A = this chain, B = another copy of it.
Amino acid sequence: MVLPELKRRRDKIRSLMAQQHIDAALMACNVNLHYTCGQILNGYLYLPLNSPGRIFVKRPNNLTGEHIHPIRKPEQIIEILKEQGLPAPGTIMLEGDELSWSEYNRLAAMFPGSEVVNGTPVIRQARSVKTEMEVEMFRRAGMAHTRAYENIPSVYREGMTDVELSIEIERLMRLEGNLGIFRTFGRSMEIFMGSLLVGDNAAEPSPFDFALGGKGTDPSMPVGASGVRIQRGHTVMVDYGGNFNSYMCDMTRVFSVGRLPEEAYMAHQVCLDVQETVVSLARPGAICEELYNAAVEVVAKAGLSGCFMGIGQKAGFIGHGIGLEINEAPVLAPRIKTELEAGMVFALEPKIVLPGIGAVGIENSWAVTTEGVEKLTPCREEIVDLLG
């Protein structure tokens, strides 16, 4: 028996498959297996439209249960499906945006009589609307994330570099149960547990599609803290992934050492105003692009468009869906016509980079409810002085 929660998730995928006349899915990627099977395994889920899913597992070798079949190689799946009396699918979907070209072709060759299509968009669409249990996982992650951030002033010591403070924050996060790994969709975005940006390092462009960049400490990891000493007059922006239970909660807070120039507080308030505006509009039916436009308008009125979401290299979004990966649907960006739905969870991160000072702004994680949105990261939002 598959747990009702997993059945619900599989049925969300099935319902989208039916709309696109897809008869079965074969999934192999860790996050998709975790989503549909409740655990990560080295193997496959074969999910037919109208009969129970079958798990084919290479490792671990101690997994047993109804509809679980040990295999050594994926080609054995076909024989077992035949033995089980399952018909060959007319159309089957594979994870085309996630599997490598070679692995996709190997799996596709197992279904010579079927049309093989890219199923990643279907799976991501299903995953973009969370179940109540998934939202609850986010609530718990948001509380742990908040507890860790509240302790940040306690680990600051005068004279620290950005890397040294990062290390202590990583430890706080881990002590609250953070699993450490930071999952992204796609092959190109890499980061350790998150990013800490001090002063002008916040304006350094990175190759990755995060809201802000940072130089990093090595050409192999060009993002985030760069080894500079934390100084008075510079902001410290802390943006870590909140993976406490596989759901990637996302939260940013800003710190200072003593008092910052006044413009930092003004710009920070503009970001809080953006958040308030977007949150007041966010509800089922709201269109992502319109939320983006509303944000941009608040910033334009404040005269800060030039440094909103970076200077030099700007992020093209103000928010992004979160889930088992940090970059899920929907994206709050120009030309995105997606309507919010109850159960979607997103991070909203209006940020402003002030030359000579650093980044200010806010990021919280939000769940779309039937009426509006629920904040998942209930942590104080003002700029916090690390000196207390």
| Residue on B nearest A107 in the bound complex, by CB | B101
Stretch at the interface among A57-65, A127-135, A268-276, A351-359: A57-65
B61→A205 contact, CB < 8 A: yes
Question: Is A321 an interface residue, CB under 8 A from the partner?
Answer: no
Stretch at the interface among A73-81, A145-153, A211-219: A211-219
Identical chains in the assembly: 2
CA distance A221 to B245 in the complex (A): 9
Q: Name the interface residues of A300-322: CB closer than 8 Å to any CB of B.
A: 312-313
Question: Is A104 an interface residue, CB under 8 A from the partner?
Answer: yes
CA distance A358 to B319 in the complex (A): 46
B208→A42 contact, CB < 8 A: yes
| Residue on B nearest A206 in the bound complex, by CB | B60
Q: Name the interface residues of A170-212: CB closer than 8 Å to any CB of B.
A: 170-171, 174-175, 177, 179-181, 186-188, 190-193, 205-209
| Residue on B nearest A57 in the bound complex, by CB | B207
Question: Is A293 an interface residue, CB under 8 A from the partner?
Answer: no
B192→A180 contact, CB < 8 A: yes
- Interface centre among A96, A175, A209, by most B CB within 10 Å? A96
Stretch at the interface among A17-25, A32-40, A229-237, A250-258: A32-40
Question: Is A105 an interface residue, CB under 8 A from the partner?
Answer: yes
B102→A100 contact, CB < 8 A: no
CA distance A168 to B172 in the complex (A): 11
In the complex, chain B residues whose CB is within 8 Å of the CB of A180: 170, 192-193, 221
CA distance A167 to B98 in the complex (A): 31
A209→B167 contact, CB < 8 A: no
Report the interface size class on chain A: 35 or more
Q: Name the interface residues of A43-72: CB closer than 8 Å to any CB of B.
A: 43, 58-62
Question: Is A99 an interface residue, CB under 8 A from the partner?
Answer: yes
Question: Is A246 an interface residue, CB under 8 A from the partner?
Answer: yes
Min C-beta distance of A39 to chain B, whole Å? 4
A34-B220, A101-B118, A102-B96 known; A61 and B181 CB under 8 Å? no
| Residue on B nearest A215 in the bound complex, by CB | B60
Min C-beta distance of A110 to chain B, whole Å? 15
| Residue on B nearest A221 in the bound complex, by CB | B179
A101-B105, A167-B171 known; A59 and B191 CB under 8 Å? no
B100→A179 contact, CB < 8 A: no
CA distance A175 to B217 in the complex (A): 13
The 7 sampled A-B contact pairs (Cβ below 8 Å) are A38-B219, A42-B188, A60-B207, A98-B187, A167-B175, A170-B174, A220-B245
Known: A163-B174, A164-B175, A167-B171. 17 other contacts (CB 8 A): A28-B188, A34-B219, A39-B220, A40-B190, A40-B222, A42-B208, A59-B209, A60-B206, A62-B313, A96-B100, A96-B102, A100-B187, A103-B187, A168-B171, A170-B171, A170-B180, A218-B245
